[in-house]
Structure 1
Amino acid sequence: MGVGSIHSADVALKALEIGIPLVALGRELIIEPDWVEKIESGREADIRTILSIDEQELLVVPGPLWHAIVSRPGWFPVV
Structure 2
Amino acid sequence: MSHSVLKTVSMQGTQLSPLQRRQLAFQKQVHQSFMSPVLANQVKQTLKAVETLKEQGAKPARVWFVECQEAGTISVAEWMGF
TM-score, L = length of structure 2: 0.23
TM-score, L = length of structure 1: 0.23
Q: Which has the larger radius of gyration?
A: 2
